Amino acid sequence: MLPNIYAILRQNATVLSLVSTRIYRHGSAPQNVEKPYITWFMVFGMPELQISGTPDSDMDTIQVDIWSDTDQGVESLAYAARTAFDNAGYAARIVQDLREAETRIYRISLEVDIIQSR
């Protein structure tokens, strides 16, 4: 439950150099935050059920949103984030690639399934 997305992402030197500590939980960032940045939230979490007793692991699906003022910037950060998840043993899939209508900020959204022991 609640995997440490912050630690996973900051293990990648490119992510660290691009966003530093600008990684925010609950799917939102502070008003007027410097770009690029990353937000994330849990889509759902599910215990791995078993008949013999208490679940010994959880499978969580996390959405990670990458934000940047430029198309090149959002792509670079998305590749770096995907590499961070790959290196941690989790596969990330793209679920959105768009430009926000009102703010004109570029966003790429990844979903990551994370299985972790309790």
Q: CATH code at 31?
A: 3.30.2000.10
Give the position of tokens 């399934």.
113
Residue 54 tokens read as 């208490």
Above 90 in pLDDT, residue 110?
A: yes
Task: Decide if 57 contacts 115 (C-beta within 8 A).
Answer: yes
Residue 52 tokens read as 């013999």
Mean pLDDT, all residues of the chain: 93
Residue-wise pLDDT tens digits, 97-107 = 999 999 999 99
Count of the separate structural domains present in the chain = 1
Number of H helices, E strands in the chain: 3, 5
- Which residue range(s) make up the domain with 109? 5-117
Task: Decide if 93 contacts 115 (C-beta within 8 A).
Answer: no
Q: What's the predicted TM-score (pTM) here?
A: 0.89
Q: What pLDDT does residue 30 have?
A: 96
Which is it for strands 37-47 and 23-25: parallel, antiparallel or unpaired? parallel
